[in-house]
Amino acid sequence: MKTIVIATKNENKIIEIRAIAGNLDFNFKCSKDFPAIGEIEEDGETLKDNAIKKAKLTALGTGLWAFADDTGLEVDYLNGAPGVFSARYAGEGCSYADNNAKLLNALKGVPLHLRKAAFKCVIALSSPKGDITTVEGILPGMITETPRGTKGFGYDPIFMVDGTDKTMAELSSEEKNNLSHRGKVIRKIVPFLPRPFGASGKL
């Protein structure tokens, strides 16, 4: 069974990725299984830059195939912010609740029709030699005025998915994985996974 390293220590991302890709015949490991790699600073100017850096350094450091995602929430009214800074929007070491509170405060008094937003996710897949493939997924929606729901993580409680009346935090895991930006990019990356698994696996 081929091993692929998920280049993250974020437990929520690991759970989501394994749930979406669980029917593929891979042994999925993650960054915490390889402590020698250490922390990889996400200092790129774009989501793509960060995803490529994490995937490549993880693959070269382990000698295994690796993929990394970088995800950002882009709010139209805020000219695309928080974007690449989504994870640390409220400052280094901030919590999900801190980020949500800052975003809601930035949109205080803004009517619902002007609160359009989109989750953007980029996955970079790296071969053990550092050859890179990238794919992108986008999920449109809008920012609610108050948090709703108890599932998910990050901005999920304040992001209402287009075509539904639910926030991401109100969706079941199955519903979220079918709709989400991360689900979309994982399905897109399948054909590029090391053969024969990528050729035969289906999501």
What angle, rounded to 10 degrees, do the helices at 181-189 and 11-21 form? 50
- Catalytic annotation present for 25: no
Three-state secondary structure string covering the chain: CEEEEECCCCHHHHHHHHHHHCCCCEEEEEHHHCHHHCCCCCCCCCHHHHHHHHHHHHHHHHCCEEEEEEEEEEEHHHCCCEECCHHHCCCCCCCHHHHHHHHHHHCCCCCHHHCEEEEEEEEEEECCCCCEEEEEEEEEEEECCCCCCCCCCCCHHHEEECCCCCEHHHCCHHHHHHHCHHHHHHHHHHHHCCCCHHHHCCC
Catalytic residue among 25, 33, 70, 162: 70
Residues annotated catalytic, as ranges: 70
